[in-house]
Amino acid sequence: MLSLFHEPRTKDKGFTMLMNQYQTRIYWHIRRLVVSHEDAQDLLQETFINVYKHLNSFAGDSKLYTWLYRIATNECLRLFKERKRFLVSSEEISEKLIDTLHGSCPQDSDEILVRLQEAILRLPEKQRLVFNLRYYDELPYEEISKILDSSVATLKTNYHYASGKIKEFMIQE
């Protein structure tokens, strides 16, 4: 697939193949971070626009999906940063995401899954990112390290603290 990107006449075909292969996986990664379907759709589109613009700069020193996750994660972080300008704190962003979660869940949703999502949304941003990438996407710490540009030891610590906070929240609730 990557070889298609280097030829101008096959770049669009290669990009379409890439989107077909990864868009669902990337959408759910984004959706778990931003909660809202509309925001996730917008960020997914921005992610693939950036991918298309920068396909030639993909050096291949990491896996393709790692590069895609990094772009998608950066788009989410950009949105959070943008929203922080209008809100006072990260806690306010978390509360807004939790409100969105409760507003978007059908009445017959599994209550424990909604509580789990709420617990994750209450985590600090870095812990939430690490937890989602490790727990839901089942990425190895080495890949998460490349996505978040952080050491493996730091990521393991963040995951450990996130897991503990989630367990504590679930027991209390």
Mean pLDDT across the chain:
87
pLDDT of residue 109: 57
List Cβ<8 Å contacts ≥24 apart for 54-63. 55/5, 55/11, 55/14, 55/15, 56/5, 56/6, 58/2, 58/5, 60/2, 62/143, 62/146, 63/143
What are the chain's domains? Answer: 1-86 (1.10.1740.10), 88-173 (1.10.10.10)
Q: What is the pLDDT of residues 111-120, one digit of tens each?
A: 777 788 889 9
Average pLDDT over residues 103-115: 66
